[in-house]
Structure 1
């Protein structure tokens, strides 16, 4: 943990990945993130694979450094606890459909009435100003809606989902910068309460079309999207004599060095090659030449060659290869640190490094309601009141977490 957001309290009413990932980034940056869960815990806790004590890896990897408060938000007493918590917070983060959280009594206007300086972040499926606003949404649906799932068809395949919850994670990072921008603006006195809307659909479309808007950038007609270089069927990892390798000569000098290496300096002498625009337009031809040449040598030979020629390259890793990657191990990317005490063998540290900033030990994701007693005590509830809330079923948890 890098405690840069110490003093910022975040009420995290989210589940699965969209929302929890954003909350974890804020928690890793030192925010006091209180995860509000149903009494039985959120769904990701039970998603396979699970630890010996039953905690899902998905939950563990998206909820470290958070506190857990178990509430029945359908009960009047549970809602009252949440109102008191909101009054003490800087940020509320949720990923419920807007109409659903509004019916629950915690839409933006209701929350603003509780806390006139709340930063209210809705991580949702679709923007509320469009006709899709009420649709349910999960990652696969957004991959399809955004055009991402259709990209393989442009290179000879069929529509397919990226085997990663990419829409959830991209939107989560947009939510993080939305919250941080609001925190900064509020600190400078520019805003009071603000409703930060982060739709998955628009987030992934914006992310995808950064390069793929392409010719449509300049066309009045709704056509021309698609960056031609990325649609070349020869833009892919290259098969070597004994495996696979990736390389991307990009500049004219890089291509010249590589073409000389493989005995095709004649291509570099062609008039069209001297023009960067024409070279970009005909890049598929260059990829085909490279692919044919790579097949003639071993992976190790090519890795050495690309390094010698100063051309961007990599071996093609499988997921398990990353766990033993020398660079990732050197930077401590998977080191569990204090989380090892909770049985975590590997975790994923934040890739952003703040050199010169203080560090603090991480806290593993905790059992559902582990911090209920401490959070409620910090809100002014007495021991007897906490016991009564538990007896009524409005709150849950063993009270094993840290006190406020």
Structure 2
């Protein structure tokens, strides 16, 4: 393996999004990540989306660059093999219940400096998933345009938790190199949500004002941003946060004079973000005909040439077929031959180090393909000891 984490070894025993994403994040940076699954695959092995043949696109997308070991984790022999692999690697991440053979203190008897990170649903150990956590976060009540809460289809808390897990594993590895000691780390999915809500100021806002935000559609809170319907039935998102961006929006649309009239009329200061937010409905009304008289492409080109922040709304098919950023022209992507799927483009880590991108994407393994090799290498290591 190449990359900044070359030489780091991690065992992953997991399912769904957060923990597999964490493992893949480490693998993309060069760590050797060994995913251990029960015979036939874990609960996420057949998760949608799938190919017409039933192969999970989801599973193969979240496990690229890893090694795959398949064991009967219900048997004493399988648990012993998994324990041997964990002890050899020295680090394990999991979102499974950490009891019995997977208990940290029990595993630590095999390797005193073991690093283990456990992902929980709630900090009290009770279960939770992304969509139940998001429902409680407050964001679903702000999303949308009416009184009905809307859950975001992006598994935001799983993704954020996955990156927290990777950060936690790296922090513990750095500490171990300094002190020689391992440790058990826990992370609760709901705490990831709560920390984010707090870090973005929502908790303090309620504490200080006693008010909760309502839904504002696609408007940008505290600044100016809005979506507009274009003449060809498409939608375009426009954002003007700084004063220079606000000025360029007026110049690009030829509506600077009309927009300037809004301030005195509503007694707001349009040179401030807050003022533009307060006047957003009047600003929308002035801008809307300009977008309605143009296609999305025409509006986007005009705004882009004026350095106005804009983005066309597009579905996944349009992203793949039409967006040049989603292609091998972007160094992020590599074309790989993925067993079970065929030729696809896949992203590497988006991090670039000193001008050098992270290692190119590599395929996900076939389930269990590395079982004999990993067990054999652990046995050889134990023999040398």
Which whole-Å CA distance do the structure 2 matches of 1:280 and 1:93 have between them? 46
Structure-to-structure mapping, 1:334-353, within 5 angstroms: 334-337=333-336, 339=338, 343-353=342-352
Determine whether 1:105 maps to 2:92. Answer: no
TM-score by length of 2: 0.84
C-alpha distance after superposition, 1:225-251 (max 9, x if no partner): 54986459x954210111221110111
Once residues 361 and 258 of structure 1 are traced to their aligned partners in structure 2, the CA distance between those partners, rounded to angstroms, is 39
Distance 1:273 1:297, change over 3 A: farther
Change (3 A) 1:53 1:296: closer
Q: 2:191 is matched with which residue?
A: 202
Q: Give 1:156 deviation, angstroms.
A: 2.1
What is the Cα-based RMSD across aligned positions, in Å?
3.1
Contact 2:98 2:118 in 1 (8 A): no
In the alignment, structure 1 residue 365 sits paired with structure 2 residue 356: no
Q: Do structure 1's residue 256 and structure 2's residue 225 form an aligned pair? A: no
Q: Who is 2:236 aligned against? A: 245
Query: Gaps (5+ residues) in structure 2?
Result: none
Taking a change above 3 Å as real, the CA distance of residues 138 and 111 of structure 1, as seen in their structure-2 partners, is: same
2:186 counterpart of 1:192: no
Paired residue total: 369
Task: Give 1:27 shift.
Answer: 0.9
Deviation string 1:198-251 (CA, Å, 9 cap, x unpaired) is 2111112333444351752762x8x3454986459x954210111221110111
Residue-by-residue CA offset, 1:308-363 (whole Å, 9 max, x unaligned): 33211122221111113113322144432354897232323322233554865644
Q: Secondary structure at the match of 1:64?
A: coil
1:122 to 2:142 alignment: no
Structure-2 change in CA distance of 1:332 and 1:282 (3 Å): same
Matches of 2:371 and 2:204, distance apart in 1: 54
Q: Which moved more, 1:4-13 or 1:352-361?
A: 352-361
Residue 64 of structure 1: aligned partner: 64
Does 1:85 find its partner at 2:75? no
Helix, strand or coil at the partner of 2:190: helix
Equivalent residues of 2:10, 2:32 under 8 A apart: yes
Cα distance change, pair 214–13 in 1 and its aligned pair in 2 (3 A): closer
- Alignment partner of 2:275 out of 279, 287, 292: 279
Contact 1:215–1:226 (CA under 8 A) maintained in structure 2: no
Partner of 2:326: 328
1:5-404 to 2 correspondences below 5 Å: 5-51=5-51, 54-96=54-96, 100-102=97-99, 104-127=100-123, 133-152=124-143, 155-189=145-179, 192-213=181-202, 216=205, 219=208, 223-226=210-213, 230=220, 236-242=226-232, 243-260=234-251, 261-262=254-255, 263-267=257-261, 270=264, 272-273=268-269, 276=272, 278-285=274-281, 286-324=283-321, 325-329=323-327, 330-337=329-336, 339=338, 343-357=342-356, 362-380=361-379
3-state SS of 2:187 partner: strand
Q: Normalized per residue, which structure has more strand?
A: 2
More moved, 275-284 vs 20-29: 275-284
Equivalent residues of 2:2, 2:359 under 8 A apart: yes
Q: Name the TM-score, length of structure 1 as normaliser.
A: 0.81
